Homo-oligomer: A and B are copies of this chain.
Amino acid sequence: MSLIVQKFGGSSVADAESIKRVAKRIVATRTAGHEVVVAVSAMGDTTDELIDLAHEVTPIPDAREMDMLLTTGERISMALLAMAIKSLGHEARSYTGSQAGMITDAQHGSARIVDVTPTRVREALDDGAIAIVAGFQGFNRDSRDITTLGRGGSDTTAVALAAALNADVCEIYTDVDGVFTADPRVVPLARKIDRVSAEEMLELAASGAKVLHIRAVEFARRHGVALHVRSSFTPAEGTWVRNPIEGETMEEPIITGVAGDLSEAKITVVGVPDTPGKAADIFTMVAKTGANIDMIVQNVSAATTGRTDISFTLPKSDGSTVLTALRSEQESVGFLSLQYDDQIGKLSVVGGGMRTNAGVSAQLFTALKDAGINIEMISTSEIRISVVTRADILNEAVRTVHAAFGLDGDTEAAVYAGTGR
């Protein structure tokens, strides 16, 4: 008998009918003989609606109270799901993040999990019951307050429970068949990946692949939790995110997937005096804003001017905050001007096999050159190469590179509406 943790996102539990359908899926897993723990998100757009409601009351909602407000979303869906399962004749109990032992720090709105003590969940399983746990929330011991986990919170709840309970697998249910070699809505010939390593999934998620949150992938990698990303609409196998098991091929594909990301912008600090420490000054003040910097490029300084340009990319949502911070330091750093470009796209190829195979960059750059696509910035890691291009040709570039690396399938991937969560 194995222990399975299943995570269902907001679109899977959007209304009463969906909840009843998900309940049947859960009961089928239990009936097959497994112990089942479920992490569930709020119904549909509930979280966004609650945020809007808070902003109707005040433009600056208090963080502690915001967490008290938002956590009601998952409580509603978990209670309804438990009711639905019970009406199918199976024992089920719902637990808040606090009752499930999800202990976090005190950072309201973006709490980090510090410990998981799922005693009551384990007791429910021992009683033969299905345990439903509210995703996205936890409890801080010092303040005795409820917290929310921030982006990717429900995926992270599921993975954390799987780790703490020593689950055999953590199934992430979504409305697509699994992880694809590229976004099927951009690359119709993209194929579903059967298995991908945690490191590759990490890179794919960081590069724009939306099906799994990077935070949950990293948690799973660090704690050795096997993930299975699959469709809530069919019983078909999805994509396994784990290291190879006995008997599987040990060779990794050179390229696992191609990801495109349109969420970033580029800031160029023009005319930075070429004296030691300027880059440190700039990125120290940027770090204070809390913005997540991605790629950084510093050109060689022009001998004639003694100045250089430094460019970096960051989420568009952090753009104005960082520009404001930099402008306030213009005099002390001594740069000439700032440029802001929100028309960039980032293309990444990810593959574990890159480590042992030379020429991947060359193959990538050649494919782009042959398609007449200009590369503006380059950034690499052991198993990923990213390039920045113009935003308007990003999708075309992804399709070109996908084909150039032999990833195209024979048939168009069936694509479901919705983005899953």
**Which one of B57, B86, B87 lies within 8 Å of A19 (CB-CB)?**
B57
Measured in the bound complex, the distance between the Cα atoms of B60 and A84 in whole Å is 9
Give, as a whole number of angstroms, the nearest-CB distance from A121 to chain B.
13
- For A20, A71, A79, which residue has the most chain B Cβ atoms within 10 angstroms? A79
Which residues of A from 12 to 48 have beta carbons under 8 Å from B?
A: 16, 19-20
A370 within 8 A of B: no
With A68-B94, A69-B76 already in contact, the answer to whether A83 and B56 are too (CB < 8 A) is: no
A53 CB–B CB distance under 8 Å: yes
Contact indicator B87/A65 (Cβ below 8 Å): no
Q: Does A82 contact B (CB under 8 A)?
A: yes
Q: In the complex, which residue of chain B has the Cβ closest to the Cβ of A67?
A: B79
Oligomer copy total: 2
CA distance A58 to B86 in the complex (A): 9
Question: C-beta contact mask, A143-161 vs B, less than 8 Å → 1, else 0?
Answer: 0100000000000000000
- The docked-state distance in angstroms from the alpha carbon of A54 to that of B16 is 8
Q: How far is the CA of A86 from the CA of B60 in the complex (A)?
A: 9
A80 CB–B CB distance under 8 Å = yes
User: How many of chain A's residues have a CB under 8 angstroms from any CB in B?
Assistant: 36
- Chain B residue with the shortest CB-CB distance to A98: B98
* Interface assignment of A390: CB less than 8 Å from any CB of chain B: no
Give CA–CA (A20, B16) in the complex, Å. Answer: 32
Residues of chain B within 8 A of A19, CB atoms compared: 57
Which parts of A63-109 form the interface with B (CB within 8 Å)? 64-66, 68-69, 71-72, 75-76, 78-80, 82-84, 86-87, 93-94, 96, 99
Across the interface, which residues of B come within 8 angstroms of A69, CB to CB? 75-76, 79-80, 83
On whether A53 and B80 interact (CB within 8 A), knowing A58-B87, A60-B87, A86-B62, the answer reads yes
For window 135-173 of chain A, which residues contact chain B by CB distance below 8 Å? 144
A144 and B99: CB pair below 8 A? Answer: yes
A244 at the interface (CB under 8 A from B): no
Residues of B within 8 A of A79 (CB): 54, 65-66, 68-69
Provided the pairs A19-B57, A53-B16, A60-B87 are in contact, do residues A75 and B80 lie with their beta carbons within 8 angstroms? no
Does A253 have its Cβ within 8 Å of any Cβ on chain B? no
A334 within 8 A of B: no
**Residues of chain B contacted by A65 (CB below 8 angstroms):** 79-80, 82-83, 86, 93-94
* Cα A50 to Cα B43 with chains together (Å): 13
Chain B neighbourhood of A16, CB < 8 A = 53, 56-57
Chain B positions within 8 Å of A409 at CB level? none
- In the assembled complex, A61 has its CB within 8 A of some CB on chain B: yes
A-B contact pairs, 6 of them (CB 8 A): A19-B57, A50-B76, A53-B76, A57-B83, A57-B87, A62-B86
Q: A19-B57, A57-B80, A68-B78 are in contact. List 19 more A-B contacts (CB 8 A).
A: A20-B57, A50-B76, A54-B79, A57-B83, A57-B84, A58-B87, A59-B87, A60-B87, A61-B83, A62-B83, A68-B75, A68-B79, A69-B76, A69-B80, A72-B72, A72-B75, A72-B76, A75-B75, A120-B144
